[in-house]
Structure 1
Amino acid sequence: MSMSFNQYMRDSIQPMRDDLTSIGFQELMTPEEVEATLPTAKGTALVVVNSVCGCAAGQCRPGVAQALQNEIAPE
């Protein structure tokens, strides 16, 4: 079975993307999506730049998940 590098990378990082979308984050993949979404957002926003590094896995994604459990959280 042959798999392209791009497909392999998409499949490899999907669980890391799912970590954030499963707790309510909206995934913005292009500059156009960001420009269309942020100016019309109401209230506050928490922006997370996801990564495949160990720091993101051990600190960032668990940290933002915990932060969203607080009484005061972004809208």
Structure 2
Amino acid sequence: MSNAYEEYMRQMVIPMRQELVRSGFEELTTEEAVTEFMENTSGTTLVVVNSVCGCAAGLARPSAGQAVVRA
């Protein structure tokens, strides 16, 4: 049986992360990964900080996904 945190991650956070990855975003989960990515990238980069607050869940994440898909 999982604890409450693991259950929250399974039900809420993981699907939100997967939504961004399916849209074409690269998941960067450490400070080092972000630094390396930004140092080796040229041009314009759209960075999305995934959050489970209402604004992110309802507007920011879906909008970012659509922006990338339609670009």
Normalised to the residue count of structure 2, the TM-score between the two structures is: 0.82
**Amino acid aligned to 1:46:** L
Bigger Cα displacement from structure 2, 7-16 vs 54-63: 7-16
Question: What is the CA RMSD across the aligned residues, in angstroms?
Answer: 1.4
Q: Select the structure of larger CA radius of gyration.
A: 1
For CA contacts below 8 A with separation 6 or more, give which structure has more relative contact order: 2
Equivalences for 1:1-75 in 2 at 5 Å?
Answer: 2-12=1-11, 13-68=13-68, 69-70=70-71
Normalised to the residue count of structure 1, the TM-score between the two structures is: 0.79
Aligned length: 69
Structure 1 position 18, deviation (Å): 0.8
1:17 is paired with a residue whose SS is helix
Unpaired runs of 5+ in structure 1? 71-75
Structure 1 position 4, deviation (Å): 2.7
Using the aligned pairs only, state the percent identity: 43
Dislocated runs of 4+, deviation >4 Å: none
